[in-house]
Amino acid sequence: MTPSNDNTPALVSLNEACRLTSMSRTMLNRYRAEGRFPVALELGERRIAFVRSEVAAWIQAKIDARAA
């Protein structure tokens, strides 16, 4: 599938990032504060999102580290 016809959103909400990583909002926010999670995009005063590919790469890095 090419990016031009991929219907997968490029951004994911905080709740979706929690779902994808199986982490609570508290834990994900702690990781963000410690610089251990991809940087969020500020979409508005009270709205953030994450780049889906960066979250997926973070998850893959965790999987790869397990095998090391």
Q: What is the pLDDT of residues 2-44, one digit of tens each?
A: 556 677 789 999 999 999 999 999 999 999 999 999 999 999 9
How far apart CA 66 and CA 18 sit, in angstroms, is: 20
The owner of tokens 């979409």 is: 43
Q: With contact defined as beta carbons under 8 Å apart, do 49 and 9 qualify?
A: no
pTM of the model: 0.85
Spatial contact of 55 and 20, defined as CB atoms under 8 Å apart: yes
33 phi/psi in degrees, rounded to 5 = -65, -30
